[in-house]
C-alpha cells in the first residue's frame, strides 16, 4: 500500500465529524476522499435526512471534484461511522461508472485500510447494466 492511501485516509478523517444539524438532518457520519487523475484529493461527508434528500460521502466528494473542474477518479476511500473503511454503495458505484464508462474498471477502492485490501470498481461492478 503506497503513501497516497494514507493521505486519502487522513483527508477523510479530518472532515469526519458526526453531528446533528437539525432534528431532521445529520452529517459527517461517513467521510470520503477521492483522488482524481491529477493527484488532487477531494473530500466529502454524508448528509442524512429524514427523507430521501441525503447524499453519500463518496458522491459528495465526487461532486466536490466536479465543481473543481475534474472528472476522472483514480482512487476512493470511505471511512464508516465505526472508523473502518468500506465499499461504496450501489448509487456511488453507478455514478463513478457513468462518469468514466471507458475505464471505470480501473478505479481503485480501499475496502480495508487496516489490512491494505484494495479492489477495483470493475471487481465490485463487473457487469455494468448499460
Dump pLDDT digits (tens) for 33-46.
Answer: 999 999 999 999 99
Contact 78, 58 (CB under 8 A): yes
pLDDT of residue 1: 76
Residue 57 covered by a domain? yes
Residue 87 covered by a domain? yes
Q: Indicate the number of domains in the chain.
A: 1
Dump pLDDT digits (tens) for 52-71.
Answer: 889 999 999 999 999 999 99
Tell me the DSSP string of the chain: --HHHHHHHHHHHHH---EEEETTEEEEEEEEEEEETTS-EEEEEEEEESSTT-B-HHHHHHHHHHHTT---EEEEEEE-TTS-B----HHHHHHHHHH-TTTGGG-EEEEETTTTEEEEHHHHSSS---
Residue 130 covered by a domain? no
Domain holding 118, by residue range, is 3-124
CATH of the domain at 74: 3.40.140.10
pLDDT of residue 29: 97
Joined together, the cell numbers standing for residue 55 give: 447524499
Dump pLDDT digits (tens) for 76-113.
Answer: 999 999 999 999 999 999 999 999 888 899 999 999 99
pLDDT higher than threshold 90 for residue 5: yes
For residues 1-21, average pLDDT: 96
Angle at 81 between CA 79 and CA 83, to 5 degrees: 55
d(CA 4, CA 74): 11
pLDDT higher than threshold 80 for residue 130: no
Contact 5, 110 (CB under 8 A): yes
Residue 92 covered by a domain? yes
Residue 129 covered by a domain? no
Amino acid at each position: 500500500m503506497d503513501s497516497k492511501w494514507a493521505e486519502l485516509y487522513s483527508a477523510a478523517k479530518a472532515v469526519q465529524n458526526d453531528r446533528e444539524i437539525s432534528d431532521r438532518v445529520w452529517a459527517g457520519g461517513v467521510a470520503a476522499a477521492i483522488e482524481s487523475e491529477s493527484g488532487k484529493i477531494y473530500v466529502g461527508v454524508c448528509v442524512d435526512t429524514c427523507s430521501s434528500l441525503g447524499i453519500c460521502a463518496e458522491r459528495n466528494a465526487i461532486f466536490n471534484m466536479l465543481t473543481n473542474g475534474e472528472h476522472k477518479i483514480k482512487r476512493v476511500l470511505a471511512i464508516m461511522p465505526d472508523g473502518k473503511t468500506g465499499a461504496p454503495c450501489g448509487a456511488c458505484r453507478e455514478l463513478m461508472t457513468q462518469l468514466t464508462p471507458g475505464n471505470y474498471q480501473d478505479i481503485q477502492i480501499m475496502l480495508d485500510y487496516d489490512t491494505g485490501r484494495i479492489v477495483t470498481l470493475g471487481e465490485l461492478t463487473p457487469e455494468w447494466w448499460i
